[in-house]
Each structure stands twice: as C-alpha cells, then as structure tokens.
Amino acid sequence: MLDADFFRRWMAATAASVDREADRLTALDSPIGDADHGSNLQRGFAAVTAVLDKEAPAAPGSVLTLAGRQLISTVGGASGPLYGTLLRRTGKALGDAAEVSAEQLAEALRAGVEAVMRLGGAAPGDKTMIDALVPAVEALDEGFGAARAAAGRGAEATIPLQARKGRASYLGERSIGHQDPGATSSALLIAALAEADGA
C-alpha cells in the first residue's frame, strides 16, 4: 500500500530530477518553444516541495491536490495548468483514504491524464506531454519500472512528430526533428514514481 509519505517522496524526487534536468528541458524548449520549460517546472516543483513540507497532508489524495494547486499558481506557461490538472484530478480520484494500492493509483492517474487531454485538447501523436503520459499509464499495471520505460520511449518517439498543440505547433513542419520538452518532463515525473518506490 502507498501512504502519504510515498506521495511526498514522489513529489520530492520529481523536484530533484527537474532541478538536475532543468537546463536540458529549457534547451529542448528553445528550438520549438520559448526556452522556459526547465525554469517553469523548477519554480513550480520547488513551490510544491515547500508547501508539502509546511502542510504535510495526511492523505495521498490531498498531497496531490495541494501539489497540483501549487503548480497552477506558480508555473507561468501552458505546462502549469496541465500538470496542475493532472495532479489535482489524480488526487481527487484517490479521495481521502490514508493508503491506496498501486492499482488505485494507476486508475487515478488514468483519470488525471484524461483530464489533461480534455483541458489541452491534445491526443496521442500531437507531440505533447500526452505522448509520454498515455503509454506510461497504459504500462502502469506492469509496475512503476515498466511505466518509466514506456514514458521514456514515448518522449523519444516525439522527435519525428509534427506538433499540433501548444507553442511548437506554430512552427508547423519545422517542429519535426526535436524532442518535445513536456513529454520529456513527463518522463521525469513517471520515473520519479519508481524512485519513490525504491525501484
């Protein structure tokens, strides 16, 4: 079973890897965006860890809804509301149970990813974070390690795609040949699940 502590470790591991990879995320966002993805998420996840340290919510669901609210209020840019919605919707699906199973988390994350697709209007193949998140939640039943591998492959598979959503879509065919920054950060978020689990 996964308790609130697991979810705090997940958010802390995400913040740490976003910190480590911030320059790379920003570099990916420079040819097909406005070179702010790394700094956007760095600011957002620093705020998430700060609020979680201060408020220490006792339930998995409230860890994620609080984290999501924080991302929405601190991340300028498209990715803030999208990641915020992912975590808030996932948290809401977990309810106020003190512990949840891996299966419940997988189901809640699928609801979260669906909410992101509704909000942003992106489908798989549009060269967005959805291209890492959808394969990840599909692989979650096989464990966090399988989800991490699927998200990484999904992010790399955005390279040959033409962007149909977000800033990169303004470039049309010139968006082809670059890995999507949001799919790359989504792979970090999913990899952090395995880290929080000690895998």
Cβ atoms of 69 and 62 closer than 8 Å? no
Both tokens assigned to 99: 């512990």
Q: From the CB of 38, what's the least distance to ligand ADP, in Å? A: 9
| Min CB(16)–Mg ion separation in Å | 21
Q: Provide, rounded to whole angstroms, the least separation between the CB of residue 116 and ligand ADP.
A: 6
Q: Which of 36, 107, 131, 180 binds Mg ion (CB under 5 A)?
A: 36
147 makes contact, choosing from Mg ion, ligand ADP, none, with CB < 5 to 8 Å by partner type, with none
Task: Establish if 33 lies at the interface with Mg ion (CB under 5 A).
Answer: yes
Cα distances (Å, whole numbers) of residue 147 to 34, 56, 63, 131, 185:
29, 27, 21, 13, 14
Binding site for ligand ADP (CB under 6 A): 29, 33-34, 36-37, 40, 77-79, 82, 120-122, 128-130, 165-167, 180-183
Smallest gap from Cβ 159 to ligand ADP, in A, equals 13
Which tokens belong to 131? 């291209």
Q: How far is the C-alpha of 63 from the C-alpha of 56, rounded, in Å?
A: 8
Q: Which CB atom, from 105 or from 155, has the smaller least distance to ligand ADP?
A: 155
Q: In whole angstroms, what is the distance from residue 76 CA to residue 143 CA?
A: 33
